Amino acid sequence: WAATQSDRTVKAVVNYGDEELAKAARVSLLDLSGRTLSTQQLELVKGLNAVEFQTSSLGSGLYLIRLENPSKNQAVKVALP
């Protein structure tokens, strides 16, 4: 899931529970045209894994947070006020 904080930071949380899946992941912030604005690499650990993106320079509107992992890919929308 992803949420916008009061300081316009976007926080994405990955719930990782299957240690049989690949642990290396990439979490990206994209605009709706698919252009990557920021990317973070992480090693998933069992439980909740949080990533934050600074978005103060971005305009209001909808953006995507995309998780890329050899075992699973997923995207969620997030709105910036």
Please count the structural domains in the chain.
Answer: 1
- Domain CATH code at residue 10: 2.60.40.1930
Q: Residues with Cβ < 8 Å from 77, sequence gap 6 or more?
A: 2, 62, 63, 64, 65
pLDDT confidence band for 19 (50 / 70 / 90): confident
Encoded amino acid at 24, one letter: A
What would the pLDDT profile of 34-76 be if each residue is shown by its tens digit? 999 999 999 998 899 999 999 999 999 999 999 998 888 999 9
pLDDT at 2: 79
Q: Please choose, from the candidates 74, 70, 59, the residue with its C-alpha nearest in 3D space to the C-alpha of residue 21.
A: 70
What's the whole-model pTM score? 0.85
pLDDT at 41: 96
pLDDT at 18: 77
Q: Please choose, from the candidates 8, 6, 7, 10, the residue with its C-alpha nearest in 3D space to the C-alpha of residue 78.
A: 10
Q: Which structural domain, as residue segments, surrounds residue 19?
A: 2-80
